[in-house]
Structure 1
Amino acid sequence: MSQVLDTPSAPRPPDPAAPVGQEDAAALAARHGLTVSGARPSLPAYVRRLWQRRHFITAFSTAKLTAQYSQAKLGQVWQVLTPLLNAAVYYLIFGKLLNTSRGVPDYIPFLVTGVFVWTFTQSSVMAGTKAISGSLGLVRALHFPRASLPISYCLQQLQQLLFSMCALVVILLCAGVPPRPSWVLAVPALALQFVFNTGLALVMARLGARTPDIAQLMPFVLRTWMYTSGVMWSLTHLTAGRDVPQVVVTLLQINPAALYIDLMRFALIDSFTADQLPPHAWPLALGWALLAGLGGFVFFWKAEERYGRG
């Protein structure tokens, strides 16, 4: 009988086509410096990338502003005409029919300032709501910090407000309000409002990217906010001599939109004196700007890798 001896076979070389384990793939990627596509960078790195694209942000906002009225025959005139027409409608309804101008000196500058400043916040929030959901083609085609979009939209609204402020200066002069050193205070007031609006736009951009229906709801929320912000009437005169609960008065005084409107009125209108400002107006305005600006930025950054997917 013949006996066949079994000898152990030599180990086979690894099959290049065989799937690589997850741990091996991670080690291989780390060895060659590969990272996950679209991964969220750290917060400092994200800020640096935004700063590197500052020219894109400004150019994009200017282009959007130029294209906004490109099809209209009056063109960029509508940047000033639209808020003026809104102010005229509010003056007719609230100032004349409802007589909210009673007891408010310089009511026309008072109203126009409120309308212009409120429109800045309203437009920034609405633009932020659609910043991601309305630019999906750009988001999916190019790799860039997504916060560039809501920031550029807010910068566009700031540029539009500056056009309107030129008309406001003419209205102030025609109403007999002379220039005074306090007009310089309009610069820090607008800067704080811009930071606050940008933070809100970042929050709404993340929410709108996930739930586009928010864009349909926001006009109702903003309209309610406008009525409690003293755009058409003086909140001081509205609550004076009335049995209004102190908690309501406090909420009206710390309302950020009302704060920025009152600070602009205090800066530009002689008859709007410091005693009409809520207590600690400037610290409150700074606090709202920091809370909304920093909080909104971090809130938006945390979902950076999810924008444009799904």
Structure 2
Amino acid sequence: MSQVLSTPPPAQTVTDDDPAALAARYGLSVSGARPSLPAYIRQLWARRHFITAFATAKLTAQYSQAKLGQVWQVATPLLNAAVYYFIFGVLMGTKHGVPDYVPFLVTGVFVWTFTQSSIMAGTRAISGNLGLVRALHFPRAALPISFALQQLQQLLFSMAALVVILLCFGVPVAASWLLCVPALLLQSTFNAGIAMVMARMGAKTPDIAQLMPFLLRTWMYVSGVMWSLEHIMRNHRLPHAVYLALETNPAAVYIDLMRYALIDSFDAGQLPHHVWAIALGWALLAGVGGFVYFWKAEETYGRG
């Protein structure tokens, strides 16, 4: 009886033509791969000191070439307010029927500038810092968040001038001023979220940065920065959809909350119904939604 000898099959070997198997064998992972959302949040929290230091450094360097230096942090929004007062308050007469119009206007300009600057800075957060993005490994959300924090720091400097203006125009110090804290926290969350949305869009299409000033200018005009939306809605018969859009406009909501907190002649009757719920809703929608939207494209930033 003859015995048939069989040759065992050759063992599978890893070849240079199989990069996936090589990576698995040596425990390698894709460079720049998007981490899970909880891991991403942990990475971001671990770099909180970098975010704060980066925001402060950008704020300090912003006017470093100007002779007046940091004075422009306050002078710029004040000059804008002076121009708006002359054009809209005097020439167009929007100050009529609005008590404490100068504090009303300056508060609106300062709060609007916070949102406007956060969005513009966020739009360029990735596209304007490609060298940093490509050179270092860090959660990219740190950039738009740090730019939003920079604008918050600038607003806090400006608030000192705002307090002086309020006092000069006879607005008394009141306990309601403490409401500025939750209002600014909600607005800061909203601004950071929108900044992250625009950072992702700006990273893919840098030309968006050229379009944003026109969109933001339109948004400013419908946000009641220079005039009272409450007067317009009360004195004009507007379609319900337009009325609702103006009333729940997030920029107008945060501006009105700050006016209500700081100006005693701006009473609760001038606020939309459930204003704090609306402000919280916009903050959560923009903050959480913007963060997730930005995180989903984490591995694409700086490539291409």
Mapped pair 1:256 → 2:250: yes
User: Partner of 2:235: helix, strand, or coil?
Assistant: coil
Whether 1:190 aligns to 2:187 is no
TM-score (norm 2): 0.95
The whole-number CA distance in structure 2 between the counterparts of 1:232 and 1:196 is 22
The 2-side partners of 1:75 and 1:206 are apart by 32
Runs of at least 4 residues of structure 1 off by over 6 A?
A: 7-16
8 Å CA contact retained: 2:16, 2:22: no
Q: Which of 270, 275, 281 is the equivalent residue of 1:281?
A: 275
Match of residue 52, structure 1, among 18, 28, 46? 46
**For residues 9 and 236 of structure 1, do their structure 2 counterparts lie closer, same or farther at Cα, with a shift above 3 Å needed?**
closer
Structure 2 Cα separation of the partners of residues 218 and 60 of structure 1: 24
| Equivalent in the alignment of 1:81 | 75
C-alpha distance in structure 2 between counterparts of 1:124 and 1:163, whole Å: 15
2: CA distance, partners of 1:117 / 1:109: 12
**Alignment partner for residue 95 of structure 1, among 62, 69, 89?**
89
Structure 2 CA distance for partners of 1:72 and 1:12, relative to 1, 3 Å: same
One-letter code aligned to 1:141? A
Determine the structure 2 residue equivalent to 1:19: 16
Q: Which amino acid aligns with 1:184?
A: L
Distance 1:280 1:126 in 2: 29
TM superposition shift of 1:46:
0.3
Match of 1:131 among 103, 125, 133: 125
Amino acid aligned to 2:25 = L
Equivalent position to 2:237, from 235, 243, 264? 243
Amino acid of the structure 2 residue aligned with 1:21: D
Task: Tell me which residue corresponds to 1:4.
Answer: none
Structure 2 letter corresponding to 1:165: M
Cα separation, partners in 2 of 1:59 and 1:12, compared to 1, 3 Å: same
Structure 2 regions of 5+ residues with no counterpart? Answer: none
- 2:106 aligned residue (105, 108, 112): 112
Pairing partner for 1:266 from 254, 260, 265: 260
Identity of aligned residues (%): 73
Q: Deviations over 1:74-113 (max 9, x none)?
A: 0000000000000000000000000000000000000000
Q: How far is the alpha carbon of 1:228 from its aligned partner?
A: 0.3
Distance in 2 (alpha carbons) for counterparts of 1:239 and 1:283? 21
Partners of 1:11 and 1:62 lie apart in 2 by: 65
Separation (CA, whole Å) in 2 of partners of 1:243 and 1:44? 49
Aligned equivalents of 2:165, 2:11: Cα separation in 1: 85
Moved more, 234-243 or 154-163: 234-243
Partner of 1:3 in structure 2?
none
| Cα displacement string for residues 169-189 of structure 1 (whole angstroms, at most 9, x for unaligned residues) | 000000000100000000000
Q: What is the match of residue 200 of structure 1?
A: 194
Aligned partner of residue 48 in structure 1, secondary structure: helix
The two structures have a TM-score, normalised by structure 1, of 0.93
Q: Name the Cα RMSD after superposition.
A: 1.8
Q: 1:93 to 1:23 in 2, by over 3 A?
A: closer
Shift of 1:13: 9.2
1:295 to 268, 289, 293: 289
Q: Is the 8 A contact 2:193 2:290 kept in 1?
A: yes
SS at structure 2 position matched to 1:240:
helix
Aligned residue for 1:70?
64
Post-superposition offset of 1:20: 4.3
Corresponding residue for residue 28 of structure 1: 25
Q: Secondary structure at the match of 1:57?
A: helix
Relative distance call for 1:14 and 1:193 in structure 2 (3 A) is closer
> Is 2:167 the counterpart of 1:173?
yes
Q: Displacement of 1:10 after TM fit?
A: 11
State whether residues 103 and 165 of structure 2, in contact with CA within 8 Å, keep that contact through their aligned partners in structure 1: yes
